[in-house]
Chains A and B, each alone.
Chain A
Amino acid sequence: MFSTKRVLTISGFLVVVGALSAAFYNVMPSSHVQAADVKVADPTSVVMIVNRDSNDLAFMDIKTHKIVGKTFLGNNVNPHMVMMSPDGRYVVTGGTRANKAYIVDSHTLELVKVIPVGIAPEHLSFSPDSRWYYQGNPEGDSISVIDMQSMTMVKTINGLVEPLNITFTPDGSKAYVGNYGAHWVGVVDVRRHELMKKIYLSDFPGVAKLDPSKYLGETKGINIGMFSPDGKYLYAADGDLGIVAVIDPREDKVIKTIRVGKEPWRIYMGHDGKYAITPNNGDQTISIIDLKENKVAATLEAGPDMTGVNFAAGKAFVISSTSGYVYVYNMSSLRPAGRLKIGTNVQLETATTDTADQKLYLAESTTNSVVIIDARTEAIERVTNVGLYPWGTHIMDSKDNYCH
């Protein structure tokens, strides 16, 4: 039926096509991620844990509480804060002692890029469109701007003073920088990546010159500016001044200052938009701020060395780092609601809250564990051996993603 010549021709054609296909497949093995390489299919399903002394990022499944993977960053990197890009593609961290930024694929957990940045990178932020990764370098007084498309550092924004945290506007046009070594909030034009304004918070008291040990000593300035949940105002606490400044982002100027307790560490926004909290380490209290009235609604007793506040199940959980306690407050009655003992001789770090506002994931560095607190029942579960010296946690889309 077929001539030998035709059979040979067809066979040869098939062989060539097969060979070409095989060759093409071999050339493009990673153009799509193979299922076997994927360790995290859904980026919202994991808690990211940054381990300072084992120099890695650990990924814990939210449902099973099992570590599903770790990404080793290198020796003596000492990563500080971990964050996922809003599009869920990458996880990034700044290596404080390596002066580098680390970019990890959020699905395969592969370290895909290491970028030299400024000195002692710590806290960071993403633009809402995931394009720009701003890495703050507190000891270098700068922010390194990393383009996530080209994965290159495109600019260094200088002129800052110990930039500790960066907050983008919801539309991504501006970024506000908390300068812990100064008393002004920096406004960065994100299109040009340039510092375009310094927002002056408040005058110093006239007696400041009589107190050089306080005002000429270690500066406790502004940790972060945080938007109210409705995005209307930006709130920034100043440690030395003992105030929270309310900033109108349309004009970038302070419209009101609220006096809070001594040495407020920073401000944390409640999820319902009614209240915010400043932990005041100077007098071991918290100030609960009414966001509608922009005034202090209550000042309540708390503990020493507070490093964070999380909101869940209608309560506020205030982490007292060195005491081993988490103080609980009822956010409806604005009254104390007990305290949870996490451990004895332990050091509590920071926590994140899941997107359902049900559980807190608290890093506990001295026992290399993450403590999971059920916000409703206040039951505690401990996941051990997450890595050496876990320093912080992060969940994608959580409203309580912060670092020290």
Chain B
Amino acid sequence: MAMVSVRHRGWKSVLHGSAIALMLAVTVPSIARAQQVNAVNSDATVAKEDQERQALLDQLAALEKRIVELTAISPQSVPTSQIAMAAPQAAAPQQAPAMPPGMVMPQTGPSPGANPANPEGNPTDSTNPQDLLDRIKVLEQRLKDLETTAVLSEPQTRTKRVEVYVDPQGGVHDEPVPGARKTVTYQRERVYRRQTMSEQIEAAIADAEQHKVEVGVNAGIVAQFGFRTQGDTAAPTNRAYELASADLFFTAGIAQNTVFFADLVGLGGTHPENEIPTLTLINGYSARLQNQNQISVREAWLRTEVMSGKLAMVAGRMDLTNYIDHNAAANDETSQFLSDALVNNPMLGLTENGIGFVSVYDPKHGFNGKFGFQQSNSNAASLNESLFTMGEVGYVARLPKTGEGNYRFWYRTDNASGTGYRSGFGTSIDQRLSPRLTLFGRYGEAEATVNWNSFYSGGLKFDNGFGFFPGDVWGLGYAQTHLQTSEKERVIEGFYNLSLTEKLKLSFHLSHFLEMQQGGTKLGYLFPGVRLQANF
């Protein structure tokens, strides 16, 4: 029994051993194969990830290359955060921007809501695919921004006025040193300013504008019709007149605070003063007429400013009334009233432009003073025979419940008559009663042969939207001239100036002149008219 059992146990053991061996023989190779397969699969996955990572890196490199192309090659123009990202595999430490001394560096350590070590929140510099994708996203956005606004990154060079200290040995110091004298020099400076192409172009155009001669044109065409309303039936009536004028202005800055100006005027056509006897000009343009269809130099002068701009001096051929007897509502035949009595004060007695000088003291406090002289007769041999001298004091006031007002008082002398100096005085006032309504007035007296001539005018100007279009201006005015010889003139005019564009204006005028001539005869005329004015 024991042997049987031993034998039986041995047989069982053999069977068990065989089974185990068989199992081992089957399973071990399969495990080994499985391990081999797994190893192969693992290698393939790694290779695939490497390929994807390499693709991302290639994409990054392409983006970075494009960004470098768009920005400058200079490291100054490429933010260092991008430089660090441009070489991710180099694992270079994050560089802080080049920083002038004394400035505050972003410090490490936690701060509320942000990481000062990485204020831009850039994705970390690793080869993790998600980090690479994040970086691609950032770079794509950056690329989009750069492509949207192409900018220049070259350093900008500009020359500046600097104060330096020169010692006795000729050494230059930025700060004062013993024995050094302070002086001014000019020095180039470079800055790193990125500007768009349009900014550069605008700057170039503005610079060119500053250095060129500016040309302006003021052209006007005035058509008027004359209808006699009373008086001598033999006097002309039902007449049409047309006058065309073109002013060419040239302005150039020739030195610090110094400007040259010239006004060439050409005028042609018919004007009512040729055949209708009035004390003042019916058409203010006629005052410019010297020679038909010829260009003449109306003004040519130099203006310079001194005393921090408080004192301006003008010398050359000029119209002194451009500086004196100003008025905000009735001063310009090209945009306001057409009748000369509502443009100037006849008591000024200055009928033509000439060589002269004027100084204007204006500290911008509201008070201003002007003084000047001018040749008043171009046929005179010298200024001794035709010296027109004039002074004015002006004041900007603001009366209660009204807007601003300009009050001017002038005095003048003139020896052009050949009988010594004759004087005159006057005032010119414009007072804004409301934002849309301005009251104006003039008064003047002038010494004549026996007695004094006198003049006054007044009226209203409406603007600031008191019309069809925002830029429209219209006005009503009345003027009366009384000569020592008992001649009188009463002028009334209304106009409406349509502001078609900033450069083109069309105005309609209606004026009536009543002349009371010596002997008591009266002559009345109605003048409807149209003025087309281009100013550019």
> Do A53 and B106 form a contact, CB below 8 Å, given A111-B119, A337-B365?
no
The answer to the question of B109 belonging to the interface, with a C-beta cut-off of 8 Å to chain A, is: yes
The answer to the question of B151 belonging to the interface, with a C-beta cut-off of 8 Å to chain A, is: yes
A273-320 with Cβ < 8 A to chain B: 295-301
> Do A112 and B435 form a contact, CB below 8 Å, given A103-B114, A149-B113?
no
Q: Produce 1/0 per residue, B119-135, CB < 8 A to A.
A: 11100000000000000
CA A98 to CA B141, docked complex, whole Å: 12
The answer to the question of B317 belonging to the interface, with a C-beta cut-off of 8 Å to chain A, is: no
Flag if A151 contacts B192 (CB, 8 Å): no
The closest CB in chain B to the CB of A31 belongs to B110
The closest CB in chain B to the CB of A296 belongs to B435
A308-343 with Cβ < 8 A to chain B: 325, 327-328, 333-339, 341
Q: Is the interface of B mostly helix, strand, loop or mixed?
A: loop
Return chain B residues, CB-CB under 8 Å to A29. Answer: 109
Return chain A residues, CB-CB under 8 Å to B121. Answer: 113-115
Flag if B114 contacts A334 (CB, 8 Å): no
Flag if B398 contacts A335 (CB, 8 Å): yes
Highest count of chain B CB atoms <10 Å: which of A53, A207, A339? A207
Flag if A119 contacts B145 (CB, 8 Å): yes
CB distance from A201 to the nearest CB of B (A): 13
CA A112 to CA B117, docked complex, whole Å: 8
The closest CB in chain A to the CB of B406 belongs to A301
CA A262 to CA B170, docked complex, whole Å: 53
Q: Which of B160, B195, B365 contacts A366 (CB 8 A)?
A: B160
The answer to the question of A85 belonging to the interface, with a C-beta cut-off of 8 Å to chain B, is: no
The answer to the question of B349 belonging to the interface, with a C-beta cut-off of 8 Å to chain A, is: no
How many residues of chain B have a CB within 8 Å of chain A? 67
Return chain A residues, CB-CB under 8 Å to B79. Answer: 74-76, 98
Flag if B114 contacts A113 (CB, 8 Å): yes
Flag if B501 contacts A76 (CB, 8 Å): no
Q: Which of B99, B112, B501 contacts A211 (CB 8 A)?
A: B501
Flag if B113 contacts A335 (CB, 8 Å): no
Return chain B residues, CB-CB under 8 Å to A108. Answer: 104, 107
Flag if A295 contacts B193 (CB, 8 Å): no
> Do A69 and B104 form a contact, CB below 8 Å, given A76-B77, A338-B363?
yes
CA A348 to CA B209, docked complex, whole Å: 20
The answer to the question of A379 belonging to the interface, with a C-beta cut-off of 8 Å to chain B, is: no
Flag if A341 contacts B308 (CB, 8 Å): yes
Flag if A112 contacts B470 (CB, 8 Å): no
Q: Produce 1/0 per residue, A209-221, CB < 8 A to B.
A: 0110110000000
CA A115 to CA B471, docked complex, whole Å: 46
Q: Which 3 A-B pairs have the closest CB atoms?
A: A151-B113, A211-B501, A113-B114
- A–B Cβ pairs within 8 angstroms, 21 of them: A31-B110, A71-B104, A72-B105, A74-B79, A103-B119, A105-B111, A114-B119, A114-B120, A114-B121, A116-B145, A119-B148, A120-B149, A151-B114, A205-B469, A211-B501, A211-B502, A258-B435, A259-B435, A259-B464, A336-B366, A344-B256
Beyond A53-B192, A114-B121, list 11 extra A-B contacts (CB 8 Å): A53-B156, A53-B193, A55-B192, A72-B99, A72-B100, A113-B113, A115-B121, A214-B501, A335-B366, A337-B366, A339-B364
Interface residues of B (CB under 8 A from A): 76-80, 97-100, 102-107, 109-114, 116, 119-121, 141, 145, 148-149, 151, 153, 156, 160-161, 191-195, 256, 308-309, 363-366, 396-398, 403-404, 432, 434-436, 464-465, 468-471, 498-502, 504
